[in-house]
Structure 1
Amino acid sequence: MMDERELFNEADPTFEESVRIDRALDTDDPAEQCERLYRRYIETYYLTDASVDFLTDLVARIQDSSPDSEELNHWLYGYYGSGKSHLLKVLNLLLDSEQLSGSDWMALWQRLDGKGKHDELRDAWCSLHENVLVVPLPINLLRYQGVREQRFSEIILQEVYSARGFSNRLDVAFFEEEFQQSGGLFDTQSVWGNREELLNDILLKRGVPNPEYTWNDVRRYRILSDLVLEGLTEEATGMTENLTDIQNQNIGQGLAMEAIESYRQELEEEHNRPVKIVLLIDEVTLFIGGDDQRLGELNALAESIQKVGGGNILSVVTAQSNIEDARPGLAKKQLDLGILKDRFPQQYALPSKHVGDIVQQRLLTKSPAGEQWVREEALNSSIDPQSMLTYTGEGQNTEPPLDAIDEDEFIQYYPLLPYQPALFLEILSNLRNNQADVTKSIFSGTARAIMALVAGLREEWAQKNRDKPIVSLVDFYDLVQYELEDVIPEKTSVIQAIENDSRTSDFDVDVAKVVLLLSYVPDLVPQHDPNLATAVMDDLEGSTRSNIQSRVRESLDGSLEKYVRPDTSPDGAKLRLTDQEEQQLITTAHDLEADPVWDDIIAMLDEALWDEVLAEVELPTSHEYGDEDGTESYPVGYTYTIDGQRLESRIGEDVVFDIEVVIRGLDPNNEDDRIADGIVYWFPKEEGLEDLRSQLIEWWALRKATQATNPPESLVRDLEDAAGRVVNKLVTTLEGDHSR
C-alpha cells in the first residue's frame, strides 16, 4: 500500500464542512477581509460543467435583462453538500462590483480558473462589470429558521436596511431612516445628530441608574430601544405618538421590493451608472418546509421582482430539489407550485457528477507517483474493479455509473470508486426525505457535507491494514454512524444487537450495515447477493466477489436470519432489518422448527389451509351411476385423513358417494403402510417432499409463534407468503401417485 502523503497531490487538504453565504471573517481590515474571502472561497472552488453553465447563463441575464423580461428569477438546486452554498458565495464575490473595484480582475479570475479553461465566461464577467454596477444581496435563510416566524418580506427588508447602513431590526431601522431625512415638519436631523448624548439622558430620566450605553446598544437590545426611541421622538416632536406611525408600516412583498428599488436608485444616483441588484437567497426549500404561507410569499416575491424591478432586480435561490419535488408535504398546493415554476423559469441542477468532480479535484487528485502506482499496481490486482466492483441495477443509475468503471476515472477517484460520491449522496438524500420533518433532519443544514465525508473516508482508508485497500459502503456507514443513530435509531439498534450477538461475526455485521444503507436506494442498487458482496468488498487483493457472495448468502441464511428478512411489501427494498418484537417472535418460531409436532402441524393445516389446497386440486364432485335402462349423476363427497389424523375439512354436502381419502408421507414419523379396500390412498411425490416438509414446518412454526399476538405487518406478510408457498407446494406434490 502506498503512503497517503505520496499518493495524493495534497497531503492534508483543508475546507469548510458547510459554507454560509453570509459568513464574515474575523478582521476589521477591508483589504484583508477581501483577500481572505478570495483565498477561502475563490481559490478552493472547482468549476464544473454544471457551475460554468449556470454562471454563463446568469451573467448574460444580469447584463441583458430588460424591463419586460420574465427570466429574472433563478432556481439552483442540488443535494445537501453538492456545493450550492459555496457556488452562491463565489457568485456573491464575483458580482460585488464595489469590492472588485480595487482588485485586479484578471488575477482574481486566475485564482478561480487556474488552467484558463473558461475564457469566454471570464470575458463576459469583465464586460458585465464594465457596463453595470452589480450589487449582490446575500441572504442565508437558515439564520432565520427556528428563531421566530418571519416572512420573506421581513427578512428581505432587514437585509436591505442593513446594506444601507441602518439597523437590521426593522423597528429601529424605520426610525433611523425617518430621523435622518430632511425637510419634514419637525427637526429630526438635529436630534439624530445628538443621539449619542441624548440617549443616556433619556435612560436616566426613565429610571435607568448610571447609564453608559451607545447607539449600537440601542440597536441590539429591545429594552433600550423601546425607551430611547420614544424619548428621541418626544425630543423632536414634543409627543410620542408619532413613533407608532413611523414603526407600524405595512410589511409585505410590495414594501420589500420598493425598498430594494429605492436602494438601487440611490446607488444609481450616487455612482452615475446603471445598477443591478441580485438577491442571493440560500436554502429556500428548507426555510419553506411544510409552510404553505411561505410558499405563497415566495411566489409573491418572485412576481414583485418582475413587476417592480424593471429588469434591474434579479434573484437566485438555492434549494435541495427542483420545484416539482420541492416539498412532498405540499402536494395539496400543486397550484402554488405550478405558479412558482412559472415565476422561476430558469432551473439549474448541480448533479451528482458535479459533486463527484469537486470531490475528486479537491481531495483525491494524485501526485505523478501516486497516479503511476494506481495505474500499475492497483489496476493489476487480483480484484478487477471493472468486473467485480460494479453494481447491477434495474434502470436508474448515477453519473459516473454504478454498473461500469472507467479505468481513468478509477485512477482519479482511488481509493474511492468513481460512483461512490453520487451513491453516498443518494443515500443521504433519501434518508433525509424519509424523515417526518426534513427541515430538522441531521442531514440538512448541519450535517457533514460530502467533502467532509470523503475526507473522513480518505483518513479511515489510510489506517486500513490491507494490501491494497479501497473504500467500501461499510466504511461509509461507520463514518456516519452517529448521525444515523440520531436519524434512524430503531434501525441502528438492530445493527448494535447484531454486534452484541455472540453467534454473529464481523462479516455478518458488515452485511447488515450494507443491507440497511441500500434499503434507501432500492431503485439504484437492488439488495441481491452480488450487490451486497460488492458493497462489503474493501481490498483489491482480497477474496473474489463470487467467494464473498457465497459468504453473504451463508450469513443471510444463518446468523442474520432473524435480523434480516425478505421485504414482502409491494415496493421498496428486497430486504429489511427486523425490529425487536419480530426478532423475539422469529426466535420462538425457530425454537419450534427445531422440534416440530406433526399432529399439531396437520391439525393447523386442516384448520387454515386445507380448503385452499382442495380448491386447487381438481376432484370429481359427481359420479354417473345406473344400468342399461339409464344412468344418473349423483354427488360425491370426500373425507380426508393425513398420516392417521382425520381432517374436518371435506368436499360436498348431501352426498350419495362418500369417498375416504388417505394421504400418507407428510409426517416422516408415520410408518403405517397398511392398505385397505375401498379407500383412495394419496402418496406425495418423493421429489420435493423434503422441501414440502420444511415449508410446512416453517409456516406452522411462524403461525404458532404469532397466534397469541398481534404481529407486525411485516410478519403478517411473511406468514401469508409462507402459507402461499405451502399451498402451491402441496398442490404440486399431491399430484403424485394414488391408488384405490
Structure 2
Amino acid sequence: MATALRNIFAKPVDRPIDGVIKADDEASLRIELDEYVITDEIGKRLETFLDAYNNYDTANGVWISGFFGSGKSHLLKMLALLMENREVDGTRAFDIFEDKLTDQPMLLGALRKAVSVPSKSILFNIDQKADVISKTDVDALLSVFQKVFDEACGYYGKLPHIAQFERDLDDRGQLAAFKDAYAAAAGKPWERGREQAALERKNIATAFASVTGGDPADATDILGQYRADTRVSIEDFANKVKGWIDKQAPKFRLNFFVDEVGQYIAENVKLMTNLQTIAESLNTKCKGQAWVIVTSQQDMEAIIGDGKAFQSQDFSKIMARFGVKMPLNSADVAEVIQRRLLSKTDEGQVRLGNLHDREENNLKTLFDFTDGSIKLKNFDGRAHFVSSYPFPPYQYMLFQMAITSLSQHNAFEGKHSSVGERSMLGVFQEVAKKMADQPVGGLATFDLMFEGIRTALKSAVQQSIQIAEKEIQDIDPFAVRVLKALFLVKYVKEFKPTVRNIGVLLLSEFDTDQNKQRRKIEEALSFLERNTLIQRNGEVYEFLTNEEKDVEAEIKALDVDPSELSKEMETLAFDTILRHRKIKHLTTGNEYSFSRKLDDHLLGREHELSINLISPGLLHISVRGIHLGNPDG
C-alpha cells in the first residue's frame, strides 16, 4: 500500500501554525518562541544587531526589511521578547533560544550579554495603534509613539491630556491616592472612569481635591485645563522617555519595536523625517538607552527613493540613524518552511532519498524554464530534495515574485494594498494539507498556491477565476488550473508563460508523459482563449483582467471591412516588410519585377515571378518561377 504524504512529515502538517505573527497577539507566545527557526542568514543578521546593541556607538535605529511573509514580524517579536527576557509559561525567552544556539557559541554569547542589560520592550503594530489619526497630521507618527509609551507607563494613552494628568500626579506620588479617592467617590475604578471623563467631572474634581487639599469647585474642569495646555512635541516626548528611564535600574533600556512602519510612512516625506527625528531625539536625550527597531516590506532606499525629496532634511542623517539594517530574503523563507513545516521522519528521509536517486537524471531538465524565461533554483542534491519535497525549489522564489507583483498592482484587500492576512508559510501549509492524503511521489503544482491567497484578493481581481470555476470546472477542470497559474504569474515580467513553462508549473508527477501534457495544455489554452479569459502574444499566454477582457471582447466583436484589412495587410507586407519592388539575382546581377499577391489576389501588375502572402496566422512567402540562387533552375 502506498505511503501517504502526511506520514513522511516529522510533525503533523495540519497542526495549527499561525502563518501571520501579530505584534499584539500573546495567545501563542510559547509556540512562537519554540518554533522560531534561526537560519544561517538570520543568525548573521542577529550578530549584526547584537554587535550594535552591545557596543553602542551612535546609531540607535534598526531597519528590518523583507517581502510579504518573509518572517520580519516574527523576528521583531522574538527580539522584543528576548531583549527584556520575558518569562513565558514559566520559561525565560533566553532559555528557549539558548537551546537553539548550542552550535553557535559566539551568537549565544552576544545574546546573553544583551539580555543581561535590564530593559523593557514596547512592541506594537503602528497601524493598529494609530486609531483614526490622519497621516496628513503633522504629528501622526509622534502621536502613536506617545500613546504606546503612555500605555506602557500605565497611563491612558488614548487621550494625551489625561495621560499627562496621571503622569503629573504620579510624579507627585499622588496617583495611587487619587485612584482610591475616585473609586470611593464614583463607585468604580479610575481605569473605567477615565474612559468617560466628560461625564465624571464631579467625581474627578472631588478625588483631585481630596489628594491635593484644594477646593472641588476649583477642580471642576481640571481635565479641560489639561486638554488646553497639553501639547505634543518630539523633544517633550524624548524628555518624558528620559525621565522614565532615569527612574529605572542603572543602564536600563527602553526599546520601541514598531511593526510595518514602512507601509505606514510609505512615500510620505514628513512621516519619514519624523521617524528619523524621533529616533535621533531619543538618542540625543537617552544616549543609547532608547532604541527604535522597525519592520518594512521594503528596504529604506526603496521607501526614500533617490533622496531628492529629502535634500532639505539631510538625507544622510536618515540613513545614518537607522544604521543597523537586517534584510530578510527568500532563502530565509525557504529554510524556515522546510524546517518548520516540511521536516521529515527518518523513514521519510530514506524513502525520499531513494526517490531522488531514481529521478536524479531528470531533475535538471524537468524544472528548467526555457524560452527566455528567468532561471530559478532547482533541486541541489539529495539532502535539498528531501528537505524541500513535495515543493520544487523554484516555487519559493517565483511565488514571492508573484505576490510582490500582484501587490504592486493593487490586487489585495487592505489598508495598504498589501497581501493581507497570509504568509508564505501559511500558503505552503495550505498546499501541503491539500496534498496530505496523496501518495508519496507526487509534486506540488504552482496553481495550488492560488488557494492560499484567495481570501486576501480583491473580488474584482479574481472574478474571472470565480466565473471559470462556476462555468467550466465541470467541462475542463484542467483549464481552470492553467488559468490560476497564469493569474499568479500575470505581472512577473521575468517569467515567460509559454506552453513549455506552463508545463513545468503544472508538473504533478515525475514520470508525466511530456507530449501528452503539452497537448493537454495547448487544448486548455485554446479553450481559455476562445472564452476570452486569456490572450496569446506569440508563444506567450497572458491572463486577462476584467478591463483587458472588455478590450479583447470589443476587438473580437469589431466588424472590420475586408477591403480595409487587405489594404492594411498590403501596406504592412509590401511597403513595410519587403519594400523593394524587384528581386536581384545575385549571380548575374539582373533584377526582376514580381507580382504582389495577398491570399492569391493580385495587387497591381502581373509578372513572371510572384510573391504570394497567405493569411491568417503566420505569413508564408512563396516564391514561384525560377530558383534565384541557381542560374540553371
TM-score, length-scaled by structure 2: 0.82
- Per-residue CA deviation, residues 149-204 of structure 1 (Å, 9 max, x unaligned), is 37222222222222222222322211111223339xxx888655522113x2xxxx
Q: Which letter maps to 1:93?
A: L
Deviation of the 1:303 alpha carbon = 2.2
Structure 1 runs of 4+ with >6 Å offset: 734-738
Deviation of the 1:289 alpha carbon = 3.7
Q: What SS does the aligned partner of 2:326 have?
A: strand
Q: Is the 2:534–2:543 contact (alpha carbons within 8 Å) kept by the matching residues of 1? A: yes
Q: 5+ unaligned residues in a row in structure 2: which ranges?
A: 583-592, 628-633
Q: Is the 1:469–1:539 contact (alpha carbons within 8 Å) kept by the matching residues of 2? A: yes
Q: Which letter maps to 2:255?
A: V
Within the candidate set 311, 336, 349, 2:288 is matched to 311
- Per-residue CA deviation, residues 2-42 of structure 1 (Å, 9 max, x unaligned), is 223420111243322321223234xxxxxxxxxx73x2222
- Per-residue CA deviation, residues 130-166 of structure 1 (Å, 9 max, x unaligned), is 4x22222212213135633372222222222222222
Q: Is the 2:445–2:505 contact (alpha carbons within 8 Å) kept by the matching residues of 1? A: yes
Q: Match for residue 326 of structure 2?
A: 348
Q: Within 2, Cα distance between the matches of 1:54 and 1:62? A: 12
Deviation of the 1:331 alpha carbon = 8.5
Q: Match for residue 595 of structure 1?
A: none
Q: Match for residue 252 of structure 1?
A: 233
Q: Is the 2:450–2:484 contact (alpha carbons within 8 Å) kept by the matching residues of 1? A: yes
- Per-residue CA deviation, residues 462-484 of structure 1 (Å, 9 max, x unaligned), is 244x6722111111123433433
Q: Which letter maps to 2:454?
A: Q
Within the candidate set 166, 184, 198, 2:155 is matched to 166
Q: Is the 2:48–2:324 contact (alpha carbons within 8 Å) kept by the matching residues of 1? A: no
Q: Match for residue 520 of structure 1?
A: 491
Q: Match for residue 587 of structure 2?
A: none
Structure 2 residue 368 is the aligned partner of structure 1 residue 390 = yes
Deviation of the 1:414 alpha carbon = 0.9
- Per-residue CA deviation, residues 638-692 of structure 1 (Å, 9 max, x unaligned), is xxxxxxxxxxxxxxxxxxxxxx997557347x9x9xxxxx96436534xxx5xx3
Structure 2 residue 55 is the aligned partner of structure 1 residue 77 = no
Alignment of 1:459-608 (within 5 A): 459-464=433-438, 468-484=441-457, 486=459, 488-489=461-462, 492-493=463-464, 496-497=467-468, 500-501=471-472, 505-523=476-494, 525-544=495-514, 546-557=515-526, 560-561=529-530, 562-567=532-537, 575-577=542-544, 579-585=548-554, 587-588=556-557, 601-602=562-563, 604-606=565-567
Alignment of 1:339-378 (within 5 A): 339-377=317-355
Q: Within 2, Cα distance between the matches of 1:164 and 1:367? A: 48
Structure 2 residue 182 is the aligned partner of structure 1 residue 195 = yes
Q: Is the 1:282–1:319 contact (alpha carbons within 8 Å) kept by the matching residues of 2? A: yes
Q: Which letter maps to 2:571?
A: W
Q: Within 1, Cα distance between the matches of 2:351 and 2:327? A: 35
Q: Is the 1:385–1:405 contact (alpha carbons within 8 Å) kept by the matching residues of 2? A: no
Residue 421 to residue 322, structure 1, CA distance change in 2 (3 Å): same
Deviation of the 1:96 alpha carbon = 0.6
Deviation of the 1:532 alpha carbon = 1.0
Deviation of the 1:244 alpha carbon = 4.3
Deviation of the 1:327 alpha carbon = 7.1
Q: Within 2, Cα distance between the matches of 1:80 and 1:610? A: 50
Q: What SS does the aligned partner of 1:681 have?
A: coil
Q: Is the 1:43–1:112 contact (alpha carbons within 8 Å) kept by the matching residues of 2? A: no
Q: Which letter maps to 1:414?
A: Y
Q: Please identify the structure whose Cα radius of gyration is greater.
A: 1
Residue 558 to residue 577, structure 1, CA distance change in 2 (3 Å): same
Q: Within 1, Cα distance between the matches of 2:625 and 2:253? A: 86
Q: Within 2, Cα distance between the matches of 1:566 and 1:533? A: 16
Q: Which letter maps to 1:513?
A: K
Within the candidate set 417, 422, 426, 1:448 is matched to 422
Q: Which letter maps to 2:81?
A: L
Q: What SS does the aligned partner of 1:277 have?
A: strand
Structure 2 residue 78 is the aligned partner of structure 1 residue 90 = yes
Q: Which letter maps to 1:693?
A: I
Structure 2 residue 165 is the aligned partner of structure 1 residue 175 = yes
Q: Within 2, Cα distance between the matches of 1:347 and 1:408? A: 31
Q: Match for residue 138 of structure 1?
A: 123
Structure 2 residue 117 is the aligned partner of structure 1 residue 127 = no
Q: Is the 1:495–1:512 contact (alpha carbons within 8 Å) kept by the matching residues of 2? A: no
Alignment of 1:220-369 (within 5 A): 220-224=195-199, 228-229=203-204, 232-233=207-208, 236=212, 237-238=214-215, 239-240=218-219, 243-247=223-227, 248-267=229-248, 271=249, 273-326=250-303, 333=309, 335=311, 339-369=317-347
Q: Within 2, Cα distance between the matches of 1:178 and 1:76? A: 36
Q: Within 1, Cα distance between the matches of 2:556 and 2:437? A: 38
- Per-residue CA deviation, residues 454-508 of structure 1 (Å, 9 max, x unaligned), is 11111111244x672211111112343343353723xx41563486259963332
Q: Which has the higher contact order (CA 8 A, sep 6+)?
A: 2
Q: 5+ unaligned residues in a row in structure 1: which ranges?
A: 26-35, 201-211, 593-599, 621-659, 673-677, 699-724
Q: Which letter maps to 1:371?
A: Q
Deviation of the 1:448 alpha carbon = 1.5
Q: Is the 1:386–1:405 contact (alpha carbons within 8 Å) kept by the matching residues of 2? A: no
Residue 529 to residue 407, structure 1, CA distance change in 2 (3 Å): farther
Q: Is the 1:378–1:540 contact (alpha carbons within 8 Å) kept by the matching residues of 2? A: no
Moved more, 410-419 or 319-328: 319-328
Q: Within 1, Cα distance between the matches of 2:506 and 2:480? A: 10
Residue 661 to residue 535, structure 1, CA distance change in 2 (3 Å): closer
Q: Which letter maps to 2:424?
A: I
Deviation of the 1:59 alpha carbon = 2.1
Q: Is the 1:137–1:280 contact (alpha carbons within 8 Å) kept by the matching residues of 2? A: yes
Q: Is the 1:18–1:81 contact (alpha carbons within 8 Å) kept by the matching residues of 2? A: yes
Residues matched between the structures, number: 596
Deviation of the 1:279 alpha carbon = 1.5
Q: Within 2, Cα distance between the matches of 1:574 and 1:84? A: 35
Residue 153 to residue 514, structure 1, CA distance change in 2 (3 Å): same
Q: What SS does the aligned partner of 1:384 have?
A: helix
Residue 104 to residue 284, structure 1, CA distance change in 2 (3 Å): closer
Q: Is the 1:287–1:439 contact (alpha carbons within 8 Å) kept by the matching residues of 2? A: no
Deviation of the 1:221 alpha carbon = 3.5
